Amino acid sequence: MDTIEQHKIDCAIGGGRRDEEKARAKERVFSHRDEFGQWDPKNQRPELWDLYNGRKRMGEHFRAFPISNWTEMDVWQYILHEGIDIPSIYFSHEREVFDRDGVIYANSAFMRLKPEEKPRQMRVRFRTIGDMSCTGAVDSPASTLEEIIAEVASSRVTERGSRQDDKRSEAAMEDRKKEGYF
C-alpha cells in the first residue's frame, strides 16, 4: 500500500486465479479497492461482456488479475507450450523437511522446530511459492513439466491446500483481502 500511495498507482497487476482459493473465486478480473486498499466482495462492479468500469475517486485504485479465469492446469500447459523457464523449486528435489499440522515444511533457519518435530529427507516440490512459514511442499517425484501436468491432473487437493495460512478458517483469505492483502 505504501508503494501504491507513494507513486499514485491507479492499477496493480497480479497473478491470482479463481481456482486457488474460495475468496479468489469472488474476485473480479478488474477489482476495485478503496482508499485504504480494502476490497469489498459484496460491493463489486459487474463485469459484463468484458466491459470494465474504470471510474475511481482520488486515492482509490484497481487490482487487475488477467489470468483469474485460468486454472493451475492452464498455467502449467501454457508454460510447457511456450517453453518458459521456471525456478527449480517447482520441480521435485530432495530436501530436508518436517511435518506440522499435516503440512510438509522445508527445514530452514527461518523455521523453529517444536520439540516433537524431527527433520527428515524427502523428495518434494512446491506447487505454490510463498512465505516459508506458511507454504508447504508436496510429496512428489515430478521433475519435468509433463510429470507436473500429470500430477496436477490426478490431484484432489488444490495447490493452496498445502498452505497453512489458508487452513486457519474458511474465510482466512477473504478476511486478508478485505484488509488490503493483494
Percent residues over pLDDT 90 in the chain: 37
pLDDT single digits (tens) 133-157: 788 899 999 999 999 999 999 987 7
Q: What is the pTM of this model?
A: 0.70
Angle, helix 145-154 to helix 72-82, in steps of 10 degrees: 160
Give the C-alpha separation, 91 to 103, whole Å.
18
- Tell me the residue ranges of DSSP E strands in 14-137: 30-33, 61-64, 93-100, 103-106, 120-125
Q: Kindly state the average pLDDT of the residues 56-66.
A: 88
pLDDT single digits (tens) 70-83: 889 999 999 999 99
Q: Hey, what's the torsion of the CAs at 71, 76, 82, 86, to 10 degrees?
A: 130
Give the C-alpha separation, 65 to 33, whole Å.
13
Q: Kindly state the average pLDDT of the residues 114-127.
A: 94
CB neighbourhood size of 69 (10 A): 11
Q: How many residues does the chain have?
A: 182
Per-residue model confidence (pLDDT) at position 180: 62
